[in-house]
């Protein structure tokens, strides 16, 4: 088992290197989920004010976990700009070969890397963001008549908070990111330490030979083995039922069967008190997979061999707030409330707390209905679902 070694590595990274103030119990959420993304070859969108260290965080973790020199990671980082081109992102023709009548591509360092970092992704105009969609999804990058298949690795994108120089990130591209975090200021005490220790020089020193100089090399474990151990973590029954509850409530529609981005909830909707009525958009298959993977990874890092309901509750806002857009009237009702997070993330945390309160009262009923379905008592299950007023029961029946 590599669990203790991973915890030791994380503690070293989060306390000695990336020491940001905690906004979760014992964790900084941006460092936590960025670390777990590197560990599991997942994708993370890091949002924050300029100069908070978003790009440096991504570059350090990519360097450390892919055995790549830090300078090479800097050079392979794609820098968002309104003037960005297909050739800058993917590759360009080999002019020498082209002059001889041959078609050959010189692939960009971004495409060739076994990690992906896109700096200031929201400075790329919407119509150019489509260039990234296929490659980020499949690792296959196409130019002219050639295809480059990149090795799997972590994917990071950074984005500044909305300002006049930014563009919206299109929903299909947002959906490519498993988690979204806000990297806040390190805090006064941590900032003094970072300044004193010249943190950027420490990054480069620790990453100059990639993983060789990094702590986890001394512990002699492979990332592939760790991922297998993470995915072997089981969900408790209540954690599984709570996951069902969250996905169902945020993605269902009483009137139209399921939520769609191009339809509005009707006035006086039967589900008006549920999260589906307070948000636009719906969670996708990728979101469901991300909730499972990151809940397991979070439990694993916490030293557990079973995912509990609290683990799912911690993870859910971070896999959903960039995909579920809270409606204006809901945001207006909470905009002046005291909070530590950016408004949309705060809204999803509040909705998650509300869903947990309701879900606690339905776990036994969910389990009972599933048992009826498993034992072939379909009519009893249908009758039970019709009496229970929550979309999870209808979804269990395939509705």
Give the mean pLDDT of the chain.
88
pLDDT at residue 136 above 60?
yes
Q: Tell me the pLDDT tens digit for each residue of 226-248.
A: 999 999 999 999 999 999 999 99
Checking if the pLDDT of 399 tops 70, the result is: no
The Cα–Cα gap between 19 and 56 comes to: 13
Higher confidence at residue 177 or residue 254?
177
Which pLDDT score is estimated for 175?
A: 95
Give which of 37, 14, 3 is closest to 318, Cα–Cα.
37
Which long-range contacts does 170-175 make (Cβ < 8 Å, 24+ apart)? 170/126, 170/129, 170/130, 171/261, 171/281, 171/323, 172/133, 173/121, 173/129, 173/132, 173/133, 173/136, 174/45, 174/322, 174/323, 175/284, 175/286, 175/287, 175/323
Distance of CA 22 to CAs 27, 29, 46, Å?
5, 7, 16
Tokens of 36: 């777990």
Q: How confident is the model at residue 210 (pLDDT cuts 50, 70, 90)?
A: very low
Residue-wise pLDDT for 288-323, tens only, equals 999 999 999 999 999 999 999 999 999 999 999 999
How far is 110 from 112, CA to CA, in rounded Å?
6
Confidence check: pLDDT of 198 > 80:
no
Name the pLDDT band for 145 (thresholds 50, 70, 90).
confident
Cβ–Cβ under 8 Å, residues 279 and 321: no
Q: How many other β-carbons are positioned within 10 Å of the β-carbon of residue 382? A: 15
Which pLDDT score is estimated for 88? 95
- Beta-carbon contacts of 39 under 8 Å, excluding residues fewer than 6 positions away, are 6, 65, 223, 226, 227, 230, 297
Give pLDDT, residue 54.
93
User: Region 346-362: what's the mean pLDDT?
Assistant: 96
Is the pLDDT at 11 greater than 80, yes or no? yes
* H-run or E-run covering 217: helix 215-218
Find, among 314, 312, 263, the residue nearest to 26 by Cα.
Answer: 314
3-state DSSP assignment of residue 318:
helix
How does DSSP classify residue 13? I
pLDDT at 1: 63
Give the strands of the sheet with 179-182, arranged side by side: 78-79, 116-119, 155-160, 43-48, 179-182
Tokens of 289: 């997979």
Sign of CA dihedral 285, 32, 43, 41: negative
Domain 3-221 fold is: Rossmann fold (3.40.50)
Q: Where are the domains of the chain?
A: 3-221, 233-396
Q: How many CA atoms lie within 13 A of 9 on its CB side?
A: 27
Strand partners, 119: 79
pLDDT of residue 34: 97
The two structure tokens encoding residue 339: 């909070």
pTM of the model: 0.91
How far, in Å, are 13, 315, 360 from residue 23 at the CA level?
16, 13, 25
Q: How do residues 121-135 score in pLDDT, each as one tens digit?
A: 999 999 999 999 999
In this predicted structure, which of 5-9, 141-145, 274-278, 382-386 has the lowest mean pLDDT? 5-9
How high is the pLDDT of residue 235? 98
Give 63-96 pLDDT, tens digit per residue: 888 888 888 999 999 999 999 999 999 999 887 7
């Amino acid at each position: 088992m590599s669990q203790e070694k991973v915890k030791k590595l994380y503690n070293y990274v989060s306390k000695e290197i990336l020491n940001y103030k905690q906004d979760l119990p014992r964790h900084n959420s941006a460092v936590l989920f960025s670390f777990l993304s590197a560990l599991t070859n997942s994708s993370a969108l890091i949002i924050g004010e300029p100069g908070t260290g978003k790009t440096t965080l991504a570059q350090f973790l990519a360097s450390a976990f892919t055995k790549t020199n830090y300078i090479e990671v800097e050079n392979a980082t794609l820098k968002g700009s309104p003037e960005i081109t297909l050739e800058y992102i993917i590759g360009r023709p080999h002019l020498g070969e082209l002059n001889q009548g041959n078609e050959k591509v010189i692939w960009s360092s971004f495409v060739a890397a076994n990690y992906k970092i896109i700096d200031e992704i929201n400075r790329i105009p919407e119509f150019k963001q489509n260039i990234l969609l296929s490659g980020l999804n499949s690792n296959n990058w196409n130019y002219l008549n050639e295809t480059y298949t990149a090795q799997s690795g972590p994917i990071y994108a950074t984005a500044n908070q909305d300002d006049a120089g930014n563009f919206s990130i299109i929903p299909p591209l947002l959906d490519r990111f498993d988690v979204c975090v806000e990297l806040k200021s390190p805090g006064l005490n941590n900032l003094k330490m970072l300044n004193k220790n010249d943190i950027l020089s420490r990054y480069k020193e620790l990453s100059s030979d990639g993983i060789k100089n990094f702590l986890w090399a001394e512990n002699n474990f492979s990332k592939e083995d760790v991922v297998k151990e993470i995915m072997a973590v089981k969900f408790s029954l209540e954690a599984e039922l709570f996951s069902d509850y969250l996905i169902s409530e945020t993605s269902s529609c009483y009137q139209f069967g399921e939520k769609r981005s191009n339809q509005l909830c009707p006035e006086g909707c039967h589900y008006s008190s549920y999260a589906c009525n307070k948000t636009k958009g719906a969670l996708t298959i990728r979101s469901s997979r991300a909730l499972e993977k990151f809940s397991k990874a979070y439990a694993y890092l916490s030293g557990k061999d079973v995912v509990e309901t609290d683990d799912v509750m911690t993870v859910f806002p971070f896999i959903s707030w960039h995909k579920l857009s809270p409606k204006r009237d809901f945001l207006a009702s909470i905009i002046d409330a005291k909070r530590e997070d950016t408004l949309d993330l705060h809204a999803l945390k509040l909705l998650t707390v509300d869903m947990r309160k309701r879900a606690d009262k339905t776990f036994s009923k969910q389990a009972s209905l599933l048992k009826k379905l498993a034992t072939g008592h379909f009519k009893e299950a249908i009758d039970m679902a019709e009496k229970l007023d929550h979309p999870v029961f209808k979804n269990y029946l395939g509705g």
